[in-house]
């Protein structure tokens, strides 16, 4: 997606967003509330017509005048809400959406059987899903969007509101899809999960792409190589250490930022030893995706 | 605490315009509709609710003419003796009995009064031996025969008191002995006076006393009345009597069909929107047109099944004549047309409303008003003329007219194809409504499409 612009009345949803999803890649799309993530995903799935910009899906290009890319048949969209028919059974839901996605009878039968097994719902395939737990519904919600073997899967908060066990299962399912050759675009607020599973991260804010790359690239571009070293001493932090660039964090805790850990850490320990104090514990804090995210988007509330 | 709860409820109500409409506007609208219907019947606007009656004078005598004139002066009646003049026919011939009967059977007029040949000869026979005046009527209207019968008695006594006096004296002669020449001369003197008084004061007398006369048992036998069902053939005594069940089955079916379709066809679309499945379905290869057509088709089948169930029940339990080929064919045609239009109506409501709550309120208001005006709740024959015209702008009005043509205003002697042509206007209008509803729904459904 290049130079995507979209306004809803006076509200600017996209203001030149760019996003690139590579073959078999797992791309995390992050942004504060109202940043334009959902509009971007909906534009890719053809549900929002861009005012300006180009979407190219699997080599097929569409411009702002057409509703989404022409390669939509190879696309699977997993909505954030449980968009299923509650009075239908798991198998009936799968058959319904598989049929709408254009699967023929035999293929549909095979894919429904695969999906039930994939989601671990085979034994409850004939129960109305109204009786299912949140995690079971989530898994089925994903399965209904991938029956037609899409090459690109858009996932909008796929693990929201589920317990750790279900979340783990969902990630396992998604890894299987990736193994089968699918590319995944994932929007989430679970930054730790995005950091763990995504190959690359795109951060958007105010409708624009503000950063894109691997976690280490993002760290390098934003925070750089700086790390925070925290030392717990056996006594109050001596004044001499404060004069050497340490800061006091509580009575016995001293902190200092370093850019070259391998060189600076031995020097720091030697300086402590000179004061006669002993080090009880060392903690080196590596910046996380959350650090990058807050660094780029700020800490103020978005409402 | 109570004050807080009151405030919360008030704020919720104040911001829910549909609830406000249901609470305060709908009762006033309904009250006005019923006030127009019933106020128009017996209130100050009696002109608008006068019963239109065809009068056929086969006797062509002074007596029959005097009675017709007296009837014509009745405020409660509007007498029609011949078709309206046209450019081609400036003086149309009066209706014949058969023409009048056909018009009543078709529901154009609620009744026709036929003065038989030889009526005058037996008029005033206090023994009840007079030749009966036929009131050809539509049995769906239960008040028309007693009303016209009463007005006929009143007309008789006020239009021809001289004749009645003479006939009365003859009876007296026969039973109580002959009058003396003086008494007889006195009677002859009074006859023209009575007649003159009547002619001069005819309108006033009848207008003032018509209701009283009709309700007096003393006067109920002056003119023999023979009610004739317009739908029953003269020469076939075994003709099955028409069942009023058809009338009410149609009215109730159409009203509940609309409710079912609003909550079914309309509700299902909005439910899909709220659940997120609409977005998901539209993200597949399905377009909005296909989606709407799918919903419309399903609920059309549902509607057909619902009406069939209602009429089969009426046939089995209440002896509605559904199974004759003529009725069955007309019923099928009307049911398909009605269900398709009702389903499209439900879908257009869904595209107008933003939530199921809003749909519930809006559909209740629209359907109840259409049902009241269209005749599902109250038979249209008791409505004033202008409200009958208003019914033509409602879905119920056309659907009911079609069913009534099939089951009520039918002519069993016409060929089957002609019977079908008879309901073509209703089928055509319902089909047009379907197209308009679906077209409108397609336009309004753009909000669910690509943003």
Q: Show the low-confidence residues of chain A (pLDDT under 50).
A: 67-69
Beta sheet of A60-62, edge-to-edge order? A11-17, A2-8, A52-57, A60-62
* pLDDT for B127: 63
* pLDDT for B202: 45
B41-69 pLDDT tens trace: 444 444 446 788 999 999 898 888 888 98
ipTM above 0.85, yes or no: no
Neighbours of A241 (CB within 10 A): 21
Mean pLDDT for chain B overall: 80
Beta sheet of B225-229, edge-to-edge order? B77-80, B51-57, B111-115, B133-137, B225-229
Which chain A residues in 87-126 lie under 8 Å from chain B, judged by CB atoms?
A: 97, 100-102
CB under 8 A, 24+ apart: contacts of B91-99: B94/B56, B94/B57, B95/B54, B95/B56, B96/B56, B97/B56, B97/B58, B97/B134, B97/B136
Q: Would an 8 Å CB–CB cutoff place B280 in contact with chain A?
A: yes
In the predicted structure, residue B40 carries a pLDDT above the cut 60: no
pTM of model > 0.90: no
Q: Would an 8 Å CB–CB cutoff place B173 in contact with chain A?
A: no
Contact B283 A77 (CB under 8 A): yes
* pLDDT for B240: 57
Place of tokens 């000869």: B121
* pLDDT for B347: 94
Contact B280 A145 (CB under 8 A): yes
Residues A155 and A167: beta-carbon distance below 8 Å: no
B200-227 pLDDT tens trace: 444 444 444 433 334 444 444 678 888 8
* pLDDT for A118: 94
* pLDDT for A34: 86
* pLDDT for B211: 39
Q: Would an 8 Å CB–CB cutoff place B288 in contact with chain A?
A: no
Give the integer Cα–Cα distance in Å for B232 and B101: 10
- pLDDT category, B141, cuts 50, 70, 90? confident
Contact B277 A84 (CB under 8 A): yes
B360-374 pLDDT tens trace: 888 988 898 888 888
In the predicted structure, residue B343 carries a pLDDT above the cut 90: yes
Place of tokens 């280490």: A216
Query: What is the helix (H) or strand (E) element at residue B196, kind and residue range?
Result: helix B181-215
* pLDDT for B355: 86
Q: Would an 8 Å CB–CB cutoff place B290 in contact with chain A?
A: no
Instruction: List the single best residue of B272, B277, B286, B294 to mutate versus A (max A Cβ within 10 A).
Output: B277
Residues A78 and A133: beta-carbon distance below 8 Å: no
DSSP SS3 for B449: coil
Q: Which of B275, B285, B449 sits opposite A83 (nearest CB)?
A: B275
* pLDDT for A139: 95
Total residue length of chain A: 303
Task: Tell me the β-bridge partners of A5.
Answer: A15, A52
Nearest CA in chain A to B449: A47
B228-271 pLDDT tens trace: 888 776 665 555 556 667 778 888 888 889 998 988 888 889 99
Contact B450 A145 (CB under 8 A): no
Residues B253 and B306: beta-carbon distance below 8 Å: yes
Q: Would an 8 Å CB–CB cutoff place A145 in contact with chain B?
A: yes
Q: Where are the beta strands (DSSP E) in B86-210?
A: 111-115, 133-137
B174-201 pLDDT tens trace: 666 666 777 777 666 666 655 555 544 4
In sequence order, what DSSP letters do the residues of B13-61 get, joined into one string?
HHH-HHHHIIIIIHHHHHHHHHHHHHHHHHSTTHHHHPEEEEEEESS-S
| Burial (0-12, 13-18, 19+ Cβ within 10 Å), A189 | middle
- Comparing B4 with B339, which gets the higher pLDDT? B339
Contact A68 B277 (CB under 8 A): no
């Amino acid at each position: 997606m290049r130079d995507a612009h979209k306004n809803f009345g006076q509200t600017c949803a996209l203001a030149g967003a760019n996003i690139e999803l590579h073959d078999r890649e797992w791309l995390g799309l992050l942004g504060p509330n109202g940043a334009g993530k959902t509009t971007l995903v909906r534009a890719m799935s053809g549900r929002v017509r861009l005012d300006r910009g180009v979407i190219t899906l699997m080599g097929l290009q569409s411009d702002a005048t057409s509703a989404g890319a022409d390669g939509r048949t190879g696309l699977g969209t997993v909505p954030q809400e449980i968009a299923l028919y509650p009075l239908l059974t798991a198998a009936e839901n799968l058959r319904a959406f598989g049929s709408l996605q254009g699967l023929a009878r035999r293929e549909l039968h095979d894919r429904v059987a695969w999906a039930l097994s994939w989601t671990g719902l085979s034994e409850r395939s004939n129960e109305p899903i109204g009786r299912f737990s949140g995690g079971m519904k989530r898994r089925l919600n994903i399965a209904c969007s991938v029956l037609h073997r899409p090459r690109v899967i858009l996932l909008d908060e796929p693990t929201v509101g589920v317990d750790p066990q279900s979340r783990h299962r969902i990630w396992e399912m998604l890894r299987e899809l990736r193994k089968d050759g699918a590319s995944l675009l994932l929007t989430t607020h679970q930054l730790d999960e995005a950091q763990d599973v995504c190959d690359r991260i795109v951060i958007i804010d105010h409708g624009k792409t503000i950063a894109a790359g691997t976690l280490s690239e993002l760290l390098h571009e934003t925070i750089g190589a700086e790390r925070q070293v925290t030392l717990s001493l056996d006594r109050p932090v001596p004044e001499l250490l404060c004069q050497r660039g340490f800061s006091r964090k509580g009575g016995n805790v001293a902190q200092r930022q370093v850019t070259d850990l391998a060189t600076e850490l031995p020097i720091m320990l030697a300086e402590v030893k000179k004061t006669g104090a002993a080090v009880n514990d060392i903690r080196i804090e590596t910046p996380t995706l959350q650090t990058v995210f807050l660094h780029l988007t700020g800490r103020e509330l978005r409402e | 605490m109570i004050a807080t709860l009151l405030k919360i409820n008030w704020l919720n109500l104040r911001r829910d315009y549909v609830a406000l409409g249901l609470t305060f506007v709908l009762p006033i609208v309904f009250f006005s509709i019923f006030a127009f219907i019933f106020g128009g019947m017996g209130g100050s606007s009696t002109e608008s609710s006068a019963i239109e009656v065809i009068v056929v004078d086969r006797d062509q005598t002074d007596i029959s003419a005097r009675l017709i004139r007296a009837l014509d002066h009745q405020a409660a009646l509007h007498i029609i003796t011949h078709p309206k003049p046209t450019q081609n026919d400036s003086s149309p011939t009066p209706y014949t009995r058969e023409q009048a009967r056909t018009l009543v059977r078709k529901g154009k007029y609620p009744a026709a009064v036929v003065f038989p040949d030889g009526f005058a000869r037996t008029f005033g026979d206090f023994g009840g031996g007079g030749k009966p005046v036929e009131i050809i009527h539509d049995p769906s209207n239960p008040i028309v025969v007693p009303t016209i019968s009463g007005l006929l008695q009143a007309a008789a006594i006020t239009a021809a008191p001289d004749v009645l006096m003479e006939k009365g004296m003859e009876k007296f002669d026969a039973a109580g002995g002959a009058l003396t020449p003086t008494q007889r001369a006195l009677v002859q003197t009074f006859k023209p006076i009575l007649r003159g008084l009547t002619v001069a004061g005819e309108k006033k007398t009848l207008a003032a006393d018509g209701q009283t006369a009709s309700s007096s048992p003393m006067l109920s036998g002056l003119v023999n009345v023979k009610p004739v069902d317009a739908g029953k053939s003269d020469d076939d005594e075994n003709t099955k009597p028409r069942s009023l069940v058809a009338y009410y089955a149609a009215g109730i079916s159409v009203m509940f069909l609309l409710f079912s379709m609003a909550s079914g066809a309309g509700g299902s679309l909005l439910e899909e929107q709220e659940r997120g499945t609409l977005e998901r379905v539209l993200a597949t290869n399905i377009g909005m047109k296909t989606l709407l057509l799918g919903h419309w088709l399903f609920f059309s089948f549902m509607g057909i099944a619902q009406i069939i169930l209602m009429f089969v029940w009426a046939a089995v339990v209440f002896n509605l004549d559904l199974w004759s080929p003529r009725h069955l064919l007309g019923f099928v045609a009307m049911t398909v047309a009605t269900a398709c239009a009702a389903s499209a109506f439900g879908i257009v409501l869904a595209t107008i409303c933003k939530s199921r709550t809003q749909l519930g309120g809006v559909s209740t208001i629209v359907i109840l008003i259409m049902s009241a005006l269209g005749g599902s709740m109250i038979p249209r024959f008791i409505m004033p003329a202008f409200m009958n015209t208003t019914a033509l702008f409602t879905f119920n009005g056309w659907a009911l007219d079609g069913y009534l043509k099939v089951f009520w205003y039918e002519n069993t002697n016409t060929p089957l194809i002609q019977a079908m042509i008879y309901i073509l206007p209703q089928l055509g209008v319902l089909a047009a409504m379907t197209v308009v509803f679906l077209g409108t729904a397609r336009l309004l459904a753009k909000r669910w499409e690509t943003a």
